[in-house]
Amino acid sequence: MSGEKKEYPKEQVDLYQQIKWNGWGDTRKFLHQLKPSGTIAMTTPELSSVPLPSLRGFIKKELSLPGEEDKPFVLEETPSLQVENIHVDPPKQYPEFVRELKAFFLADQLKDDKLARITHTFGKSLRDLIRVRIGQVKNAPDLIVLPHSHEEVERLVQLAHKFNVVIIPMGGGSNIVGAIEPVSNDRYTISIDMRRMNKVLWVDRREMTACIQVGIMGPELEKQLHKQGVSLGHDPDSFEFSTLGGWLATCSSGHQSDKYGDIEDMAVSFKTVTPTGTLELRNGARSGAGINYKHIILGSEGTLGIITEAVMKVHAVPQAAEYYGFLFPTFAHAVSALQQIRSSEVIPTMIRVYDPEETQLSFAWKPSKGPISEFTSAMVKKYLHYIRSFDFKNVCLSIIGFEGPKKVVDFHRTSVFDILSKNAAFGLGSTPGKTWAEKRYDLPYIRDFLLDHNMWVDVAETTVSYANLQSLWKDAKQTFVKHFKDQGIPAWICAHISHTYSNGVCLYFIFASKQNENKDMAQYIEAKKLMTDIIFKYGGSLSHHHGVGYEHVPWMTRYATKGWINIYRSLKETIDPKDICNPRKLIPSIKEENNKEPYLFDVINVKHPKL
């Protein structure tokens, strides 16, 4: 390995400088109120101040207590601090380590300014955003390093191991489980921002595989692949602001997983740089030679090392891609149709089912389409109500998509539509599918708006069997609302089915309430514990695709059992003997397990603004 610096552009605008440090996504995209009406509107890079005429009324209705409906509804403003008003302790000094770094990395690859350190401290969870918005930035990394190649990551990890420096890899920074946060100030800590490693290195059209640097963001990945006529087809909600490496490190799942599989199904092999050497896998369609080693790294969240390059399965860019909307009279009708589709031999690319509450949210936050469209919608509602006996308090929206060769899409569409019609589904045509495609990444922007107005939103997701699906759905929703309303706190919860399998689904809950006076995490802690315990009650997984970080660590021994935890702990001690790779994530420490120190979940900004 050469110790010489490579020549790269001296200065560039990095992605962390282009996205919100105190919210979600593009700095040019946000919700706001129009004056003087108070109507909520959305501004995007393409359109300014597009009114969402029903959203304000929806928020008032759902986050008001009984008896408050007729009172004036005021959206209390609770703005974030500006970055210049946030105090961050100066970085620790480690001249011997930094001297060796500078011998190998360009000055532009090493950052320690305030914005760089803040944006590499947190992900995008509710806990993360509340803290950064009030200026509670503890344990910011001392240095951010932006490597360009696998060889540079190898050199960096070798130096970190030599000098006992904590290393935390960062992709898009979109995680919501505390997976990238430094949790101690005891050692010099660096955040390794992978986003300059953003190239498709090669595509093999014969084998239909591609070798890709894992710092590449979702849109750029598909752009480069499409130039060679192929696609990965992995499209999570965070697609615009997450990376291939993040998907691999958290066992991600995309919208089209019903057809293309989850990220572990797409991964053929990858390189992982660990403190004790680089781990590589052979390429191949399959191997039965012992343990499937790739699953040791998949989902490890940077606790064993850093994934740098991956060989992934790809497919031809679909000739046809068609997405349609349907309304079911009830959630039970939708689940029945879904099960019948999954047990058939014809599987759509995507099936999403929104429960009645999330269906109402979907209706409430769409812009007005003009008088003709509104009249048509009103006529459809009357038809469904008076002729089909739909109760719009219970109606469920579903988006179903098909991709592939045109003949295959036609066959699948015909077969699936037949099942839908037998389960009382009403077809809305392709317009809802197009609307979903345009807005599918936008929901987190509502969360930012609510945080700006003294409300909070969080999520819980799980994999659950068909046998327990509806029981979990009903119990979680009823228990959550009752828990908070019994305390005089307004609460709202909805759910959707986002991924389907032959033996279960991913059920994804979204819940909201008003923030307490202390702006602490007490209500969130209550909600998270409540929802996780209910999920376990019905045999659900701890997470379907969000990962563990430190947010889910308290439940890991219940989910994976202590035996598996001990196996993983031994593996980490072998690969990472100094515990420099993203410490205190994924599994409990021995002290946590033995109740000799509290879980990070229970102490970070729960009642006191400190770690």
Q: Does the annotation list 57 as a binding residue?
A: no
350: phi > 0 → left, psi -120 to 50 → alpha, else beta; which?
A: beta
Residues 6+ apart with CB under 8 A from 227: none
Q: Does the annotation list 240 as a binding residue?
A: yes
Q: Does the annotation list 253 as a binding residue?
A: yes
- What are the φ/ψ torsions at residue 320 (nearest 5 degrees)? -130, 145
Question: Which CA distances in Å does 127 have to 23, 137, 253, 523?
Answer: 12, 12, 23, 11
**SS3 assignment, position 201:** strand
Nearest one of 304, 190, 210 to 586, comparing CA atoms: 304
Pair of tokens at residue 33: 């109120």
**Cβ atoms of residues 454 and 515 within 8 Å:** yes
Q: Does the annotation list 302 as a binding residue?
A: yes
Cis peptide before 36 (omega within 30 of 0): yes
Question: Which CA distances in Å does 566 have to 198, 383, 563, 569, 585?
Answer: 36, 60, 5, 5, 14
Q: Does the annotation list 242 as a binding residue?
A: yes
Q: Which residues pair with 325 in a beta bridge?
A: 399, 429
The conformation of residue 404, written as its DSSP 8-state character, comes to E
CA atoms within 13 A on the CB side of 320: 15
Nearest one of 342, 352, 341 to 414, comparing CA atoms: 341
Q: Does the annotation list 287 as a binding residue?
A: no
Q: How far apart are CA 450 and CA 514, in angstroms?
A: 9
Q: Does the annotation list 238 as a binding residue?
A: yes
CA angle 398, 399, 403 (to 5 degrees): 150
Q: Does the annotation list 181 as a binding residue?
A: no
Identify the active-site residue in 260, 508, 524, 599: 508
Q: How far apart are CA 257 and CA 348, in angstroms?
A: 10
CB count in 10 Å sphere of residue 154? 19
Q: How far apart are CA 454 and CA 77, in angstroms?
A: 7
Q: Does the annotation list 251 as a binding residue?
A: yes
- Look at strands 491-501 and 350-354 and give their pairing: antiparallel
Residues 6+ apart with CB under 8 A from 260: 232, 233, 234, 254, 266, 315, 349
Q: Does the annotation list 237 as a binding residue?
A: yes
Residues 6+ apart with CB under 8 A from 497: 334, 335, 338, 351, 352, 353, 505, 506, 507, 508
H/E segment holding residue 332? helix 331-343
Q: Based on the residue annotation, tell me whether 386 is a catalytic residue of this protein.
A: no
CB count in 10 Å sphere of residue 524? 22
Q: Does the annotation list 250 as a binding residue?
A: yes
Which residues carry out catalysis?
Answer: 508
What residues are designated binding site for substrate?
A: 447
What residues are designated binding site for FAD?
A: 237-243, 250-253, 301-307
What residues are designated binding site?
A: 237-243, 250-253, 301-307, 447
